[in-house]
Amino acid sequence: MSTVLLAGCGIGLGLYLAARGLWPSRPALAARLAPLRGGAEVRLPDPAAGRTEAAWRLKLGRTVVAGFRQSGFEHRSLRADLAVMGRSLEGLLAEKIATPVVAVLLATVLFEILGIAGVRLPVIGLALVAVSCAAGGFFLPDLALRSEATRRRRDFRHATGSFLDLVAINLAGGSGVEGALHASVQAGRGWAFARIRDALVWAELAGETPWAALGGLGEQLDVAELRELASSLLLAGNEGAKVRQSITAKANALRHHQLSEAEAEAGSATERMSVPVAMLLLGFLAFLGFPAMMRVLSSL
């Protein structure tokens, strides 16, 4: 069984390499234009640069990251999810390569155990199970990354609402726009405020405006609230009263939106709990009625 699985994996890999050699992928337009771009945009620091990952993951990911980027598969949502989680593309690609291999090996071990126990499965069934395990292992890191990034981005929006409230309070106290932004971000704690603080400091060192840094961070993390805040600050300039009113309105709208999401999530959780409660009720009724039913059946 293991010989058939390994042979199938080898044939599939050979066909894939042959197809890539006969029909090479066209490089993405963004990859071609990247060296020609000027320094007009704010280049925020990579949050994954300071993270320590296993050497084998980085080495394995670097072997395929160039082809991945040139093939055009690096979508904007994937880059945003990696930026929110503070992970590197090399580590994700290493997981996408290692997970299918581990899944196929586990399937092979399971088949060998079944063979020792006397259970024989057809070769077609073994091949289908192996391909399914490999495909599931390939897409599993993407699904896990998307789920974790969605939860982390929700936490970032909560922190953004608090940041907007602090900015409005500082503007009401007579601070300027830049002073209110820096004072507000220094008062917060947590990874979200740390990301905003790093973006503002980086923009100050690069000679850019704070709203350009916030807009760049919103694009990097795919957070619409930061992009809207940057647009408001850019349009309003240094008119403190109009900026304060706009920020207050955005903070209220964001808070109402979060409240609506919390209510919808609570309602969904309540609906999901109805099924276990109904099953528990049916089990309790069966437990109560079992002695009477057995007595009726025994009397027949």
pLDDT band at 2 (very low <50, low <70, confident <90, very high): low
Angle at 77 between CA 158 and CA 164, to 5 degrees: 25
- For the segment 62-83, the average pLDDT, to the nearest whole number, is 68
pLDDT band at 4 (very low <50, low <70, confident <90, very high): low
215-253 pLDDT, tens digit per residue, is 888 888 888 888 888 877 777 655 545 677 777 777 788
Q: Residue 25 has what pLDDT?
A: 56
Q: Residue 237 has what pLDDT?
A: 59
39-71 pLDDT, tens digit per residue, is 444 455 555 544 556 666 666 666 666 666 555
User: Which is higher by pLDDT, 32 or 195?
Assistant: 195
Task: Please provide the DSSP assignment of 83-133 as one string.
Answer: HHHT--HHHHHHHHHHHHHHHHHHHHHHHHHHHHTT----HHHHHHHHHHH
Averaged pLDDT of the chain: 76
